[in-house]
Amino acid sequence: MSASRCGAACLLLGLVAGCAGPTRPALHGVTHGSYAMGTLLELTLYGPDAAALHETLQDVTQLVERLEAGMSRHDAASDVSRLNRAAGGAPLPVDPAVADILRQALHYAQLTRGAFDVTVGPLVALWTRAAERDALPEPEALERARARVAADGIELHADGRVALRSGTSLDLGGLAKGYALDRALSLLEAPRVASALLNFGQSSSWAVGAPPGAAGWRLLVRAPGGGFAGVITLRDQALSVSGSLGQWSEIGGRRFGHVLDPRSGWPLTRRRQALVVAPSASLAEALSTALLVLGEQEGIALVAAQPGCAGLLLDADGQRWATPSWVRATRYAPLDEGA
């Protein structure tokens, strides 16, 4: 079990058939796929120079690899792993990108009132062991793990060093992909790149401009109960899709999702999907997780209150809740309404 949402597989990315129109002769299109951050990184770029586009693909891929090397909790040599091992000890020097993403994480924990928290490592470990034993955690063990989840366990020093309070453990899986996409934007300079769709594992995306002949990037949205819920059109927007049971473990015959509520310590069990568009992919990731955790009232209100953000929460029983700006922001067209 992981706090990462990389296996959510809630969205089928790509142009909907017939939406793009004829490609302009002056623009070339290139695509690339590679395994990164535990999932598939898919890049589609349009621009006037094919050779320059291929160079940009390589630059983006190398950037993601560098970021993953510092942020993966599965790599014993990463800064995150070093910090986790040194929790309770002296501050450690880390890559500036790691310090930067932790600053963002602290802000998002406060913004979401603790619904999104990268210090969920103790809970992830607890529920992973529970799934391996096929037995729910003991209440005392759950409370001990939950008590160690708190963003104030991260200490950021002005000189770039970082320290963790004893018992604190980081898991950046729910934020690293969005952060990497945000950083990749600096490599997509005009006129070299006219438009682009960057996608991590069908859960974190950046839609830059629009493909030739289209108003934006049209994407199919999967329904949590199977099939497709609708079509959205994005232009210069980041998107995050979180599924409560995108990954799950079975304990005692009951399914427990990979998304944890840091406040209670329990995994989510209701099959839902949350979609959020935002001015940055990291913000979209934090808010989509928080929307799942907080639900249709508190979660929708939180997303609606953020400038430039809109969200949709889908339930497997067919219910849906959206922020007032969702349809306008995404041109959302439900398929059951003849889209």
Q: How far is CA 107 from CA 114, 118, 152, 222, in A?
A: 10, 11, 11, 30
Burial class (CB in 10 A: 0-12, 13-18, 19+), 81: middle
Give the per-residue pLDDT at 3: 41
- As a whole number of angstroms, the distance between CA 287 and CA 281 comes to 10
Give the per-residue pLDDT at 9: 35
Q: What is the CATH number of the domain that holds 241?
A: 3.10.520.10
- Which of 276, 305, 271 lies closest to 289 in space, CA to CA? 276
Q: Is the pLDDT of residue 225 over 90?
A: no
- As a whole number of angstroms, the distance between CA 39 and CA 100 comes to 23
Give the per-residue pLDDT at 18: 38
Determine the average pLDDT of the residues in 170-187: 96
Q: How far is CA 178 from CA 31, 142, 249, in A?
A: 20, 29, 25
pLDDT digits (tens, 9 = 90+) for 35-56: 999 999 999 999 999 999 999 9
Instruction: Return mean pLDDT, the chain.
Output: 90
In this prediction the pTM is 0.90
Q: Is the pLDDT of residue 188 over 80?
A: yes
- As a whole number of angstroms, the distance between CA 314 and CA 187 comes to 34
Determine the average pLDDT of the residues in 247-274: 90
Give the per-residue pLDDT at 51: 96
The phi, psi pair for 72, rounded to 5°, reads: -75, 130
pLDDT digits (tens, 9 = 90+) for 2-29: 443 433 334 444 444 334 444 445 899 9
| DSSP conformational letter for 74 | T
DSSP-assigned beta bridge partners for residue 234: 217
Share of the chain above pLDDT 70, in %: 91
| DSSP conformational letter for 213 | T
Determine the average pLDDT of the residues in 127-154: 94
Determine the average pLDDT of the residues in 101-122: 96
Give the per-residue pLDDT at 296: 96
State how many domains the chain has: 1
Buried-state track 196-232, b at ≥16 Cβ within 10 A, e below 16: bbbbbbbbbbbbbbbbbebebbbbbbbbbeeeebbbb
Burial class (CB in 10 A: 0-12, 13-18, 19+), 48: middle
pLDDT digits (tens, 9 = 90+) for 64-84: 999 999 999 999 999 999 999
Residue 246 banded pLDDT, cuts 50, 70, 90: confident
User: Under DSSP, is residue 198 helix (H, G, I), strand (E, B) or coil?
Assistant: strand
Give the per-residue pLDDT at 336: 67
Instruction: Look up the domain containing 115 and give its range.
Output: 1-339
